[in-house]
Amino acid sequence: MSGRVIKIYADQGWQDTGFALPAWEENTGWLARTEGAWCFNTNSRSIGTRDADGRIPDSGKTTDTNVQGRTEHPYHGENAQTGQLVGRWGEDGQPFIVGTHCNLENKGDGRSGGTLWLRMNDHDGGLADNDGYVTVTIATFDRTRRTQWDSAAKQWVYSDTRTPV
């Protein structure tokens, strides 16, 4: 998947990617795919190291990082986890989960004119003990073809041919 590649750092708050959804195009969609791991607690890396879904890499475990309802976290809605990659459109947009893969057009109000802002889902007071970064690729896909996430290959594929998006 080629496209715009951006590093998002765990020890920083909201980071403006500079990416804004272009005008609607009938056959073109926009996806974000995230790779790498970062840490929300450098004092306990075995527990604090996470992928963009907020899970311990290669295990799928979350180990007590549910922050649903904890309003000090940027995203505290359904399925909220410390360590997730979260986004919002514009400086004041509503946060949403981006995770390891996301159809950006289905999240928030991306056509409002704001740019995409990203960060680790950790409260502002917890950023000092964070480190690392994840790499986010934002790319187009052919909307006329059905796509699906191939978790084994860790990439979006076209359903009819299984070729990468």
| 3-class secondary-structure state, position 112 | helix
pLDDT for 164 equals 67
Instruction: Report how far apart, in Å, the C-alpha atoms of 59 and of each of 54, 63, 83, 97, 105 are.
Output: 11, 11, 15, 20, 29
Helix (H), strand (E), coil (C) string for 15-49: EECCCCCCCCCCCEEEEEEEECCEECCHHHHHHHE
Single pTM value for the model: 0.84
pLDDT (average), residues 98-125: 83
Domains of the chain: 4-158 (2.60.120.430)
How many percent of the chain have pLDDT more than 90? 50
pLDDT for 61 equals 75
Q: What is the mean pLDDT of the chain?
A: 85
